[in-house]
Structure 1
Amino acid sequence: MTKFVVVEGRTLKQAMKIISAIVERYNTIPILSHAKITHRAEGLRITGTDLDIEAHIDLDVVDGGGGDWSVCIGVQALAGIARAAGVMDVRIERADNAMEARISVGDGAAFYELQILPEDDFPEIGGKQGDLIEMFTNGMLTATLDKVSGSISTEETRYYLNGVCWHITKQDRRFVATDGHRLSLCTYTPEGGEPASRIIPRKTVKIISNHLANQNLKIYDVDTGKLDIVAPGITIRTKLIDGTYPDYSRVLPSRHDFTLDLKRDEIIAAIDQATATGGQRGAAIKFSNQNGRAVIERRSGDFGNAKVKTSTPWPAGKVEPQPFAFNSRYLRDVAAGCQGAIEMRMTEPGAPFSIFDEDKTMTRVLMPMRA
């Protein structure tokens, strides 16, 4: 009996986008550059893994036969064929007693013979799916992660910062990310639960954001140190970062002596103007008072000095705040993620600044730097 399956090129292409995002392009272990295709009575399942993240994607089949069978095909080759197929059907055939697969597109318009690897060598992340932790509807998970993911650290030495901390307390539920210079915290619901803290890796966050937007997602516990993120026809199993997330509440300012009211578009334009001459990415920009208005200055021995005036009133009070400075890239990224008017709240020089906008679920913290 011939072992074959026929699927729509478009659905295969969409599945391979997710698989390609998980599987590393270059691997020292050959099987990790392959996807496992499993034909069953229920349909077709495609699996890809990098040993930390694993995706199972179920596809409807146009036609199929040969009972239950599997084949491991190179991800880059299969993704390329799916892209080239367009709206045409793709037929995948498992050759008996040969380490090859035959793939045809449409009515034989294109034909491929590909080397395969033994399906028994394909690794899987073990674990039994446990209890449902939470369900996010209408793309809420992606939207919430996008609010904080810009603050994820890329510094490998503090590996526990290389992800988003999903923190459930008795009072609320929140996602938080920090790289030690900036912090983004989203309290997405005031309903608490059994206290727990899980660190979702940066790569997993990116896959959710890029490929599961606008989906209804269920998150399940899996043994120790893993999660299942489930969408219709898709299951992403991910290992969590094994470590203790720092007590970020210690850097949240408990009081604010001054408030600087900023206009989002104006402050972004002012940062761009102050750094227009080039030079170091993330150079320091200083805020100071000039005739009751906030001005932004950037000084560089190699690229000259720049001064940009804003319409923002300098805070008045019993004690006038001293000039302060930020990393220009960090401040611009924070401002770009804000909605509407921005409030920058400060205490004494050198202390963290709190930044708020019209999104009441968000708290942002930015560390100052020397100008």
Structure 2
Amino acid sequence: MKFTIEKSVISKAISHATGVVEKRNTIPILANVALSANGSSLSMRATNLDIEVSLTVPAEVAVGGEITAPAQLLSDIVRKMSSDVVSFELSSDKSTLSVGAGRSKFKLQCLPTSDFPDMSAGKFTHSFQIAAADLKMLISRTQFAISTEETRYYLNGIFMHTVEDMGRDVLRAVATDGHRLARAQIAAPSGASGMPGIIIPRKTVGAFEKLLDAGVASIDVSENKIRLQSGDVVLLSKLIDGTFPDYTRVIPTKNNLIAIADSDKIRAATDRVSTISSERGRAVKMTFDENNLHLEVNNPDSGSADDDVEIDFPTDQPSIEIGFNAKYVNDILVNIQSKRARISLSDPGSPTLIQDEDGPDVLYVLMPMRV
């Protein structure tokens, strides 16, 4: 195997591949990336047994062949090369791969591709195309609420499914950790309706976000796998084998105390007063009353803080005092896209609903705290 390739091309390709390679591997081959040169292209593949990334890029191939090389080491070497063109040559015994550019030359220990695992894609039941911007929105507006509690593994991802909402089919993404819930949706793309509800693992979600480029992405779905193609890159991933809870039961529908507020101002005020809160609880008490939101934190170990933000809260509504985790409040408010947020409350012990003022397609549920 012998080929040359532009540094910018191989750098971008390797960055996609190394994104799924675990830094610590008990199986040596999983630390490698598979390289296959043929014709006028180079194909690359990397996996951690749960996610597989593959892509093909243009290259000038003198001698075809295939091998696997250490992914992270190869990435570091290419990144530091001073020349715009990088050359690769496999030794006759296929034990080492020479990587050179200009006067720099490296020799890497290799492993044969026969040992490299291949994730079987299987049969997909639903296929559709989605604007990359729409898929990014579904991910970015919900992924912060993914649970990190491994015992509740079925919450360790984003639940994606189609459902009818207000007379239209929508593709909906939901994530929750039991303390807050995030839900975002778009009109269901052609071909998505009726797809099985799937739970996309946290790591796959992160890989999706890095992979998505401008334009349109293609998605194939089965009950246990999802495949995403964006540009020349294809990502295949296992899904979480579990049942996502009925999240609709925790979305309040009768919260009749409504506050409209500048989300940036509330976020800034919450951040200020939480400076003095304990790291463990991060509790902030909020009092909604007569077009004013009063924020207060009391920490016996360090002191107290309070702040006020002007809001739209009609005087004919009874005031309400409720406690929240400051971090959870800010995580939600940073994802409010319109200038102002609509905050719907019921009582100090019930969940609060937070939405963009401009529309219902994105909503958040926040559980209260005792303060």
> Do the two structures share a fold, i.e. TM-score over 0.5?
yes
Q: Distance in 1 between matches of 2:305 and 2:69?
A: 56
* CA–CA distance in structure 2, aligned partners of residues 337 and 182 of structure 1: 13
Q: Which of 69, 92, 97 pairs up with 1:96? A: 92
- Specify the alignment match of 1:297 in structure 2: 296
Cα offset, 1:140, TM superposition:
2.1
Query: Aligned letter for 2:109?
Result: Q
Q: What is the SS of the residue equivalent to 1:130?
A: coil
Matching residue of 1:136: 130
Letter of the aligned partner of 1:303 in structure 2? Answer: S
Name the residue aligned to 1:65. Answer: 62
**How big is the alpha-carbon RMSD for the aligned residues of Structure 1 and Structure 2?**
2.0
Question: Paired residue for 2:219?
Answer: 219
1:143 Cα deviation (Å)?
Answer: 2.5
Residue 79 of structure 2 aligns to a residue whose secondary structure is: helix
What amino acid does structure 2 have at the position aligned with 1:45?
A: S
1:60-97 Cα shifts (integer Å, max 9, x gaps): 01x21333x21110011110122112552111111112
Is the CA contact 1:281–1:329 (under 8 Å) kept in the aligned structure 2?
no
Q: 1:261 to 1:291 in 2, by over 3 A?
A: closer
The equivalent residue for 1:157 is 151
C-alpha distance in structure 2 between counterparts of 1:120 and 1:212, whole Å: 30
Return the letter of the residue paired with 2:325: N
Q: Once superposed, which parts of structure 1, at least 4 consecutive aligned residues long, lie more than 4 Å away?
A: 289-292
Helix, strand or coil for the counterpart of 1:275? Answer: helix
Question: Map of 1:107-256 to 2, 5 A cutoff?
Answer: 109-128=103-122, 130=124, 133-170=127-164, 171-189=169-187, 193-221=193-221, 224-256=223-255
Aligned residue identity for 1:90: V
Structure 2: which 5+ runs fail to align? none
Contact 1:227/1:237, CA 8 A, preserved across alignment: yes
Q: Is the 8 A contact 1:129 1:220 kept in 2?
A: no
Q: Is the 8 A contact 2:291 2:310 kept in 1?
A: no
Task: Decide whether aligned partners of structure 1 residues 291 and 259 sit closer, same or farther in structure 2, where only a CA change above 3 A counts.
Answer: closer
Number of aligned residues:
363
Alpha-carbon distance, 1:234 to partner: 0.8
Tell me the TM-score normalized by structure 1: 0.92
Contact 1:140 1:214 in 2 (8 A): no
Give the Å deviation of 1:346. Answer: 1.3
TM-score after normalising by structure 2: 0.92
Change in 2 beyond 3 A, CA 1:149/1:83: same
Give 1:133 deviation, angstroms. Answer: 2.2
Give 1:127 shift.
2.4
1:4-43 equivalent positions in 2, closer than 5 A: 4-41=2-39, 43=41
Alignment gaps of 5+ in structure 1: none
**1:5-41 CA distances to partner (integer Å, 9 max, x unpaired)?**
1111111111111111100111111111000001123
CA distance in 2, matches of 1:293, 1:127: 56
Match of 1:80 among 65, 76, 91: 76
CA offset digits 1:173-205 (Å, max 9, x no partner): 211111111111112116772152001111111
Give secondary structure in 2 for the equivalent of 1:276. Answer: helix
Distance 2:85 2:110 in 1: 21
Counterpart residue type for residue 41 of structure 2: G
Q: Could you tell me how far apart the structure 2 residues matched to 1:71 and 1:134 are?
A: 34
Does structure 1 retain, via aligned residues, the 8 Å contact 2:43–2:55?
yes
Q: Distance in 2 between matches of 1:282 and 1:240?
A: 33
Identical counterparts, % of pairs: 30
**How many Å separate the matches in 2 of 1:30 and 1:58?**
24
